């Protein structure tokens, strides 16, 4: 087990093993997985405000000393929103794609901005969008993200920080979360923030995991994994996040990572029991009360074998790993294992 300051997040991410994140990406977008993990191309994920807020909250709560290594404070009071944010992000992507190896932008701003205008979905005229953009905070934000994203920094605003600090304070004082969030290492408990575990196997495939918070109870001889999620829909977490973003994959692998400690004779936690993980879910706007969602062992069984909810089937970790291993072994990424084995013949229903 590798935990705490003995290994940085950058070092962890450099380890060429699959994780719950990469397995989820494969299950949802094989093309993206192929580019990112097989070709080692840079694939930038589109951040939502909730996901950015989640990373800020997680850092302030668990690793405040790393804040400056992850974030850049914008000169803007608040970031662009709505279609203007879409325009700025598209402008950034098109600028990046038009930049050669010498760092020179080889297309004109007019060409790039017209592409961004089309992609952003604005209904007003291009000239009106440009007049709103030039000289505004949106233009400042655009130049900031061009400057700092190359250094793996996320641009955030004073408003973002203020909101994140309120969320952290809520987590520390709220009846639903304070006992977990404020727990510190003692004779009875080990409290491991950003606990890293590498080299455990699931269905014959080797994984790594970095878990937000792991609490080991020496009296009960149990290991409890917690993962922090910042969403816009706290009370609909199950459908809007757990299912929609396939967080069940993460929950299952985290449980298996913790379980690997209990069967390792050289581990301090050999013989302990890994409990089903729990999600600490907070509101990205700090309005709704945070909640703790607890999985059962039945939920873990569903996550591994697959399950159905409201008529929709969700593939289990076992099937996803089988499909991934097939794609790797055969170097086939543009068609699923089932469709290949069925010679491309698919039943309509």
Q: What is the reported pTM?
A: 0.89
Domain boundaries, the chain: 43-170, 178-341
At 1, the pLDDT band (50, 70, 90 cuts) reads very low
Segment 79-130, tens digit of pLDDT: 899 999 999 999 999 999 999 988 899 999 999 999 999 999 999 999 999 9
- pLDDT tens digits, residue range 139-159? 999 999 999 998 889 999 999
Residue 332 pLDDT > 70: yes
To the nearest whole number, what is the mean pLDDT of the chain?
A: 93
Average pLDDT score over residue span 6-32: 83
Confidence (pLDDT) at 96: 92
pLDDT at 5: 42
CA 329 vs. chain centroid, Å, equals 27
> Tens digits of per-residue pLDDT, 280-324?
999 999 999 999 999 999 999 999 999 999 999 999 999 999 999
CATH fold for domain 178-341:
Lambda Exonuclease; Chain A (3.90.320)
Listed residue (171, 209, 193, 160) closest to 48, CA to CA: 160
Percent of the chain whose predicted confidence (pLDDT) is above 90: 87
The helix-helix angle for 247-262 and 317-330 (nearest 10°) equals 90
């Amino acid at each position: 087990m590798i935990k705490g300051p003995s290994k940085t997040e950058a070092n962890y991410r450099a380890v060429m093993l699959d994780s719950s994140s990469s397995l989820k990406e494969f299950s949802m977008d094989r093309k993206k997985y192929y580019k990112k993990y097989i070709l080692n191309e840079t694939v930038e994920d589109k951040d939502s405000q909730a996901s950015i807020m989640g990373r800020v909250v997680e850092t302030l709560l668990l690793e405040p000393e790393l804040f400056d290594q992850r974030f850049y404070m914008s000169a803007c009071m608040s970031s662009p929103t709505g279609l203007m944010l879409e325009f700025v992000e598209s402008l950034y992507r098109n600028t990046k794609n038009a930049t050669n190896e010498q760092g020179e932008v080889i297309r004109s701003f007019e060409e790039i901005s017209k592409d961004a205008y089309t992609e952003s979905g604005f209904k007003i005229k291009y000239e009106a969008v440009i007049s709103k953009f030039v000289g505004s905070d949106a233009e400042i934000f655009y130049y900031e993200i061009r400057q700092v994203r190359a250094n793996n920094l996320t641009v955030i605003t004073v408003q973002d920080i203020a909101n994140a600090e309120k969320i952290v304070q809520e987590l520390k004082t709220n009846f639903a979360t304070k006992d977990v969030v404020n727990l510190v290492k003692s004779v009875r408990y080990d409290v491991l923030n950003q606990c890293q575990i590498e080299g455990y196997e699931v269905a014959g495939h080797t994984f790594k995991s970095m878990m937000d918070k792991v609490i080991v109870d020496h009296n009960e001889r149990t290991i409890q994994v917690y993962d922090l999620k910042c969403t816009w829909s706290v009370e609909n977490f199950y459908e809007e996040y757990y299912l929609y973003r396939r967080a069940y994959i993460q929950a299952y692998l985290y449980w298996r990572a913790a379980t690997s400690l209990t069967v390792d004779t050289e581990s301090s936690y050999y013989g302990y029991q890994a409990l089903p993980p729990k999600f600490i879910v907070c509101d990205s706007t700090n309005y709704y009360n945070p909640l703790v969602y607890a999985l059962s062992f039945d939920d873990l069984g569903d996550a591994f074998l697959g399950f159905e909810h409201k008529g929709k089937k969700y593939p289990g970790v076992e099937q996803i790993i089988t499909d991934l291993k097939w794609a790797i072994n055969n170097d086939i990424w543009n068609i699923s294992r089932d469709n290949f084995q069925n010679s491309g013949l698919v039943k309509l229903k």
